Amino acid sequence: MGGTVVLLSLSIKNLALIEDASLEFSEGLNVLTGETGAGKTIVLEALGLLLGDRARPEMTRQGCPRLSVTGTFRLSPRLKKALDDLGLGTSQDEVLVRREADPAGKSKAFVNDEPVSAATLAKIGDLLVQTHGQHEHQALTKVAEQRELLDAFGKLEKERESVALAFGVWKALVEEREALKLSEQERAQRIDLYKYQKEELFAANPKPGEDEELDLRLPALKNAEKLRLAGDEGRDLLSSGDSAALDRLHRAVKTFETLQALGADLGEASELLQAAVVNAEESSARLETFLDKVDTDPRKLDETLGRMDLLARLKKKYGPTLEDVIAHRSKVEAELDRLGNLEGKSQDIDRRLAEAESVLTKESAALTAGRKAAAKKLSSSVEKEFKEVGLPHAAFEVSVAAPDGGGPGYSAHGADDVRFLFAPNPGEGKNPLADIASGGELSRVMLAIKSVQARTDAAPVLVFDEIDAGVGGAVGGALGRKLAKLGKTSQVLCVTHLATIAACARSHFLVEKEIGKGRTRTTLRPLAEEERVAEIARLFGVAEGGEKEAAAGLKHARELLAASQQ
């Protein structure tokens, strides 16, 4: 198991009913057993948090400020490279993953005490642990999941990437061609419309900010006559009338100069008067400049109002802003150019589309060939596993065929329908797994597939939750032996209710629920040899009978345990 991931230890604090628990796991098969409702699923929730599952508020033990889950994993070469690629490389052979959450559901994740995002944790989690429960077994009936399993088995990642890339190019060209498929009548109508809009917009020739500039000019044009009269009156009073203020100020300046010459002490009065003259002259000059600009021609006002009305109509049609109107003018030019060159573009797209379809066909054919080769190997390998999982007469086949309805059936996943076919009994025809397999059979098919995968991949830790659902003791024994065998190449954690599976484990953990001081707690602990005997007897359901039945149950459990460990 040197090339696989191993969960060395798991520490859980304040998660649901678990106050504080620490477990050290062994290589091979590890099982967790306990009474129904004891809290076995909490351990799986703890692992889920380490893999990036969402932290829910109810997970934090009531009254506690936070929960934490810490897992120590032995690195595989693949995981070590992934950590290097994520900038989390380590020289050690172990990695420490920690997840914390508060009662509000806000969580933090750490890898080797370095904070990481939820997305990064999920990437790492996929390489650490694979959990297989009732939901995952049902997923096995989905066509997409079956295709993913086959491609992973055949190591067809490069072929799939090539198909996905070729499909993306082909689909984009198909959509572009469809967009160009206009009838001549519709094309002519659009050209006429865009020509009219172009003429209208170029004739108007709106300028950026022109509407705002006209808004500012309009009050002066509306009040031009009043402004002219008031300006003329101001000019008369200041510089042109019989008693113009500037003339009187100039005379006052001369008077002040005479007074000063005669020795009058007027302080700063003379300077202030001079400043008044300068200010009055400047005001007169500005008034003259303003009066030169006042336009009392009523045609100018009409032109401005007409221009404002035109811009308002354009904004209503192509706006809402004048910038939108100007942008629409550019769009109309581009559309006219596109429609004018439609025929040439259509021919170019048809040529490029034919080339893209040729590439896609070639890449899809390569993927199909790879799938068919992998399907043959996977079918044979899984069937060989069936005897060891209690399906000695079952048949299995991975079908790779053209999609229903004929045609190339192009997609980003290739041009194949991949289906797992299954016949649980001899003499029966194979049918889709989803149509005929029971829950117990699905669990065993999944275990067979995982056993095959474990021989070809550096597998993560494999977790099986209730793989024994719907099976009896005899089949349970076969499953237990298979899980133990799988544990020779991958570390396996299994939650079980069957004594025949528990007896095959290398390490056995008991999950118990206890009540004390008004609180409920779930505890987890490894079982010593005699404790395992008692727990296996309990799983048989005979340890709590009469004295004779209990003794017989313990004897049977001891014998089963001894036989299963050979």
Kind and range of the H or E run holding 360: helix 342-386
Span 205-211, mean pLDDT? 86
Confidence band, pLDDT 50/70/90 cuts, at residue 66:
very high
pLDDT tens digits, one per residue of 101-121: 999 989 999 998 889 888 888
pLDDT over 90 percentage in the chain: 24
Looking at the predicted structure, is the pLDDT value of residue 185 above 80? no
Q: CA 432, CA 399: separation in Å to the nearest integer? A: 9
Span 518-546, mean pLDDT? 83
pTM higher than the cut 0.75: no
Packing angle, helices 269-293 and 224-235, rounded to 10: 150
3-state secondary structure of 520: strand
Q: CA 558, CA 17: separation in Å to the nearest integer? A: 32
Q: In this structure, are residues 4 and 490 in contact, taking their beta carbons and an 8 Å threshold?
A: yes
Q: CA 137, CA 34: separation in Å to the nearest integer? A: 23
Burial 60-89 (b: 16+ CB within 10 A, else e): bbeeeeebbbbbbbbbbebbbebbeeeeee
Name which of 30, 15, 42 is nearest 99 in CA terms. 15
Query: Does residue 182 or residue 374 have the better pLDDT?
Result: 374
- Six token digits for residue 420: 């797992």
Looking at the DSSP bridge assignments, the partners of residue 101 are 67, 107
Looking at the predicted structure, is the pLDDT value of residue 128 above 90? no
- Six token digits for residue 64: 């506690």
Percent of residues in the chain assigned helix, strand, coil, to nearest 5: 60, 15, 25
pLDDT tens digits, one per residue of 485-529: 888 888 899 988 888 888 899 999 999 888 887 788 888 999 998
Chain CA centroid to CA 487, Å: 34
Query: Does residue 407 or residue 221 have the better pLDDT?
Result: 221
Span 533-550, mean pLDDT? 76
Domains along the sequence of the chain with CATH: 1-133+440-527 (3.40.50.300), 187-340 (no CATH)
Looking at the predicted structure, is the pLDDT value of residue 93 above 90? no
Packing angle, helices 210-222 and 224-235, rounded to 10: 60
Which range of 34-48, 354-368, 506-520 scores highest in mean pLDDT? It is 354-368
Confidence band, pLDDT 50/70/90 cuts, at residue 234:
confident
pLDDT tens digits, one per residue of 160-177: 999 999 999 999 998 888
Q: Residue 343: its pLDDT value, please?
A: 66
- Six token digits for residue 117: 């995002």
The whole-chain average pLDDT of the chain stands at 83
Q: In this structure, are residues 178 and 422 in contact, taking their beta carbons and an 8 Å threshold?
A: no
Residues 6+ apart with CB under 8 A from 392: 386
Sign of CA dihedral 81, 86, 92, 96: negative
Residues 6+ apart with CB under 8 A from 477: 500, 501, 564
Looking at the predicted structure, is the pLDDT value of residue 427 above 80? no
Q: How many CB atoms lie within 10 A of CB 461?
A: 23
Span 221-235, mean pLDDT? 69
Pairing between strand 129-132 and 461-465? parallel
Sign of CA dihedral 121, 20, 490, 140: negative
